[in-house]
Amino acid sequence: MTPTPDDIPRRPRSLSARSLQDLTPGEWSVSAVRVALRQHMEGDFSRSALLVDSLRGDDRIGGDLRTRVMAVSGLPFRIDPSPSGDQRRAKMVAAELAGGWSRICPPSTARALLRWAIMLQVAVGTCAWTSDGHRWTPDLKVWHPQHVRFDSYREAMQVQTTAGLVDVTPGDGTWVLYQPEGDRSWMEGAVRGLAVPYLMRTYARRDWNRWGEKHGLPITGAVVPENADKADKDGFFADLRKLGSEGIVLLPRNAEGKGFDLEMIEPKNVEAFKGFERALYHCDVSAAVALLGQASNAQEGGSFAKANVLDLIRQDLLEADAQSLAQLIRDQVLKPWAAFNFGDADLAPVPVWDATPPADAKRNAETTKTAGEALDLWMTAAAKAGFEVDFETFARAAGVPVKRVPKPAPVVPPTPTADEN
């Protein structure tokens, strides 16, 4: 029987009695993160996977991760026939796969694989096969890496299930193992570079809130006469406590204008909050570099950059994500599918998320404008010298597509007949 994510134990053996599942983002301490990363480097993902869950809850880190994952998910998608074997048969197999692709690899499954692969450089899934009497179809499910570990002695990836540890055998039709950078690729997991910025953001926000509570608003100073008795003072303080909700307080004064009074004491060093801003900005840049490959912002530049979310992600990262995901699906899901249904794994179609960068519309527009201005200058100069510019040759050299439009035949009036005369 094929193991499924439902077979996970309620409490994995690798966790203590107080499971780290109960941790909230604010409870991740420096020591807890250090332990999680050390175990991650050793191939135990029980804690680093939970740390990733917390990182995904951070608005900046989670937002950058979603941007990178959705960039691949939003690429133009197609299914190409296998490049090997009988091409007529390969095209037939590709057409059949295209009709059932959403059942084999729905977008949510592809995003889950890519998300864990980016953060941990490890993602594990299982295929449960069902048959309609005509074709076998895999149902691909992704495991939470909390239940995944690497046995360094046996050089095998394993999953903790209710039945114990089970070896992961990628490509056997049951297991899917995604390691974009190859063996031991978890050393390159983004979680390693994001843990420190995450802690800095958590502490900076906490300290900023505390600073704001203490120094963000002016302090109300109560001035009382020297000869005021305890009853008058208590009544005055009681009125001040209600000031926040009522906004009115009675200030009795004597004939000389002296008596109870209020004064607002402005906080000192009001610019101290900029230190928190700088810390958060540094963390934002670190997160963008770790996940998007660059710290550039879509708000910078012209309208063409603003309109294209792909400008946020370094092109080589986008291409690598798309290619590695496509290779994984073909090798470990579609080849068993082709072998089970058509008797030949080499007939497996090739899924393609096309990461070819779109034409730079802004650059093309500027090139066309420059070419037009140059053409006007050349035509004017040529006319003065008694020459003529070949417009079609010039346009094609500038990369401007043109075609010759035939001139309409001149309209010749009909010859009047004798009767008309």
How far from 29 is each of 23, 25, 26, 43, 227, CA to CA, in Å?
A: 10, 9, 8, 21, 53
Residue 229: pLDDT over 80: no
Judge whether 47 lies within some domain: yes
- The three-state secondary structure class of 271 is helix
Residue 421: pLDDT over 60: no
Residue 296, Ramachandran bin (φ over 0: left; ψ between -120 and 50: alpha; else beta)? beta
Same domain, yes or no, for 102 and 153? yes
Secondary-structure breakdown of the chain: helix, strand, coil percentages, each rounded to the nearest 5? 55, 15, 35
Strand-pair category, 123-131 with 175-178: antiparallel
Same domain, yes or no, for 187 and 63? yes
Same domain, yes or no, for 190 and 337? yes
Report the pLDDT value the prediction gives residue 267, as an integer from 0 to 100. Answer: 63
Residue with tokens 């008694």: 386
Could you give the number of structural domains in the chain?
Answer: 3
Report the distance separating Cα 15 and Cα 25, nearest Å. Answer: 18
Residue 262: pLDDT over 70: no
Report the distance separating Cα 118 and Cα 352, nearest Å. Answer: 19
Residue 28: pLDDT over 60: yes
Judge whether 162 lies within some domain: yes
Same domain, yes or no, for 89 and 38? yes
Domain span including residue 384: 361-397
What average pLDDT does this structure show over 31-55? 93
Tell me the pLDDT tens digit for each residue of 243-256.
665 555 656 665 56
Tell me the pLDDT tens digit for each residue of 366-411.
777 777 777 777 778 777 777 777 777 767 676 666 666 676 767 6
Residue 313: pLDDT over 90: no
Same domain, yes or no, for 11 and 132? yes
Report the pLDDT value the prediction gives residue 362, as an integer from 0 to 100. Answer: 58
Backbone angles phi, psi at 16, to 5 degrees: -80, 180
Same domain, yes or no, for 368 and 227? no
Same domain, yes or no, for 176 and 238? no
Residue 342: pLDDT over 60: yes
Same domain, yes or no, for 46 and 26? yes
Tell me the pLDDT tens digit for each residue of 78-106.
999 999 878 899 999 999 999 889 899 99
Report the pLDDT value the prediction gives residue 253, as an integer from 0 to 100. Answer: 63
The mean of the pLDDT values for the chain is 79
Report the pLDDT value the prediction gives residue 402, as an integer from 0 to 100. Answer: 65
Residue 361: pLDDT over 70: no
Judge whether 25 lies within some domain: yes
Whether the CB-CB separation of 69 and 111 falls below 8 Å is answered with: yes
List of residues 6+ apart from 99 with CB closer than 8 A: none
What average pLDDT does this structure show over 65-72? 93
Whether the CB-CB separation of 141 and 151 falls below 8 Å is answered with: no
Report the distance separating Cα 296 and Cα 314, nearest Å. Answer: 10
Instruction: Name the pLDDT band for 64 (thresholds 50, 70, 90).
Output: very high
